[in-house]
Every structure is written in structure tokens, then in C-alpha cells.
Amino acid sequence: MTRLKVADIKDIEKQLPQYDDELVRKTGTNLRGIACFAVGVGEEEIFHNIAAVPAAVVPITAGQGIITGFSTAVKAILEFIGFKVFVTKLADAAGTAEAFERGSRLIFMADDNRFVALNIKRCLVVDNAAATGKGFAAALELMSGGVAGERVLVLGCGPVGFSVVESIIRFGARVSVYDIVPGYSLALREKIEAQLKTRIKIEKDLKRVLSEVRLIVDATNAAGIIPEEVISPRTYIAAPGMPLGLTPAAVEKIAGRLLHDPLQLGVAAMAIEAIKL
């Protein structure tokens, strides 16, 4: 699990309007629209829920502690898609109590192990990794014009990668996975076969498979593993992984067919997932 850096998140709030425009250009819909599509709800049916569920973000000092700007970035994203939200003045248990006392029913908090949204009324936990996987899979579906019947390569078999594979299979794609740790790709394949009764292919040669596929999800924490040579005019990449897996030359070449952000899509998908009926 990659711990975000202050530099990753410091510009999120002020760049949200232009990021939303970028999403519309690339996928045909905006941040809230992608999150609703990812979760499988209609924007109209969810709209009154958004206004009816006040949210709070609670800073957590456990482990490596607070990341300056993290809570305010999460708040800004939630406000941007229509939520009423505040960051608690206190942290940890006192902050959680403050959130309850100030009437919030949807609490966002992250330590070094998990980033979760808790829907108090429904005793529901929504995990950022699962929601991020759904969000980026949905974005690839929209950006590429549809993955059904296509081969999609998912890099990274951790919690985000697993969620991506689940969603991409539901969109009707044939999935290949690659992880630098063979045990992780084997474990993901077994879990997917058990749960979705669907076979997926484990790739062993990253260089070769990158030259063969045009639809890629980078859910790794590795930088620079996707070079310029593998980018074709029909390549589309959704990249939830931090840091970005494409080399600068690959970013240049792929132009408008790349989707990458450190928090926005995952937080939006978490929030919609947490309040859907």
C-alpha cells in the first residue's frame, strides 16, 4: 500500500474543476458520473442521498501519522461531488466522537493499513482499495469505448488489482494479470475463479505482454515499467497505482488516453458506494 506524499495531494483541491473537465473529455462523463457508473447507480437516484448524508473526515495520527493536506483533499473531493462534509478539529477517537456528535453519518478515515468510509446508519464499511479498483475499471470502460470481448492486462495483484479484475470481468473482458510476486497473481486467480467462476491468464513475461495488449490497468506501486515503445494509437491505460507506472516519454505519447489520479476517483467511488441503496 503506497503512502501518499504531501506533493501528491497538495494541488487536488484547486485543480478539481480542470480535472473534472479532463474526465469529461476522456470518458464522456464527470467525476460523479464515473463514480455512479462504477458503483452501478443512476445519478438521479443518488442525488437526494448525497444531500441527506452529512459526512466527516477524521484525521488519524496512528502509524506514520497525519499527511498534511490529506483530510482537506478528501473533503474537497466529497464537496465537489455534492456532499456536505467537515474535517473534525480533533483526531482519532476524539475526532470520531466529534463527527458523531456533530451529526455526521458517513465517516472517512485512514491509517497506514486501510482508508475506509463508514456508513454509520447501515453499519457498512467501504474500502478505498476496492472502490478505487471499481472506479478505474469503469473509467477504462468509458474511455476506451468498451472492453467487452477485448483482452485487458491488469498489472499488480494487490487489493486494487483484485477489484479491477472483478469489475473488468463484469464488463466482459478477457483478463491477463501480472505481478512481480508470482504468489500474488496465483492467489488472485484462485480467488477470482472461486468467486466469479471465470478463468484469467497469468502472464510471466512483462515485456512481451506489454507489447501485445492495448488496454492496461496499472495497479502497481512501480514507476517506469510502461515504456514509450509499447504505446500505440489504440493504447488506453487506467492507472490507479502510485507512483505512475508510465515513463515520462510514455505519458507524452499516450496523450489523452491515460487516466491517473492519487485520490479523486477512489474517494468519489467510495462515497457513492457508501450511500447507494
Binding site for ligand 2YC (CB under 6 A): 1-4, 59-60, 66-67, 70-71, 110-112, 115, 128, 263
Residues in the chain: 277
The least CB distance from residue 38 to ligand 2YC, in Å, is 16
Non-local CB neighbours of 79 within 8 Å, separated by 6+ positions: 85
Nearer to ligand 2YC by Cβ, of 33 and 262: the residue is 262
- Between helix 128-144 and helix 31-39 the angle, nearest 10°, is 110
Count of helix runs (H) and strand runs (E) in the chain: 12, 11
Q: At closest approach, how far in Å is the CB of 262 from ligand 2YC? A: 7
Q: Which is nearer to ligand 2YC, 8 or 203 (CB)?
A: 8
In the bound state, the residue with its beta carbon closest to ligand 2YC is 4
Q: How far is the CB of 217 from ligand 2YC (least distance, A)?
A: 16
Helical (H) or strand (E) element with 105? none
Q: How far is CA 186 from the centre of its chain?
A: 23
Of 16 and 230, nearer to ligand 2YC (C-beta) is 16
Would strands 124-127 and 115-119 be described as parallel, antiparallel, or unpaired?
antiparallel
Judged by CB, which is closer to ligand 2YC: 2, or 232? Answer: 2
Q: Are 163 and 135 in contact (CB under 8 A)?
A: no
Q: Rounded to the nearest whole angstrom, what is the least distance from the CB of residue 34 to ligand 2YC in the complex?
A: 18
